[in-house]
């Protein structure tokens, strides 16, 4: 059994799908946060901790998505590691190392925002 890159497989056949999902996720997240702040301003409500906690989550999500897009375009993120040529395998390894650094704060700040929202809504 031969290990290494294969020439008969198009490794980047579905690359545009991954990019489309990443970019649409960025757009949806940005619009959601913008609309959240616009709605709070239109209603004349003060911004709470839940509103401010979503901003670091969005910034970390930007970094996560940029590293995912970089890993997909420069490397072969989403492709079997054994099939990749060495330069793409190195780039994929870098992307796989960087993404969890940003995904943990993204999820943590989003959860903190939800907890702060519950505290504001259900305060007694």
Cβ–Cβ < 8 Å for 77, 71: yes
- Helix (H) or strand (E) holding 76, with range, is none
Question: What pLDDT shows up at residue 19?
Answer: 81
Predicted confidence (pLDDT) per residue in 19-73, tens digit? 888 899 999 999 999 999 999 999 998 999 999 999 999 999 999 999 888 877 7
Q: Could you tell me the two tokens for 99?
A: 């993404």
Return the closest-CA partner of residue 65 out of 33, 97, 24. Answer: 24
Q: Domain locations in the chain?
A: 11-123
């Amino acid at each position: 059994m031969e290990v290494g890159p294969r020439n008969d497989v198009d490794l980047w056949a579905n690359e545009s799908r991954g990019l489309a999902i990443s970019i649409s996720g960025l757009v949806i997240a940005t619009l959601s946060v913008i609309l959240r702040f616009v709605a709070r301003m239109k209603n004349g409500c003060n911004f709470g901790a839940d509103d401010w906690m979503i901003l670091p989550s969005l910034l970390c999500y930007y970094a996560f998505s940029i590293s995912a897009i970089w890993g997909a375009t420069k490397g072969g993120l989403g492709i079997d590691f054994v099939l990749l040529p060495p330069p793409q395998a190195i780039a994929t390894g870098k992307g796989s190392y960087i993404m969890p650094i940003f995904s943990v704060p993204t999820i943590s700040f989003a959860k903190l925002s939800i907890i702060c929202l519950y505290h504001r809504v259900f305060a007694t």
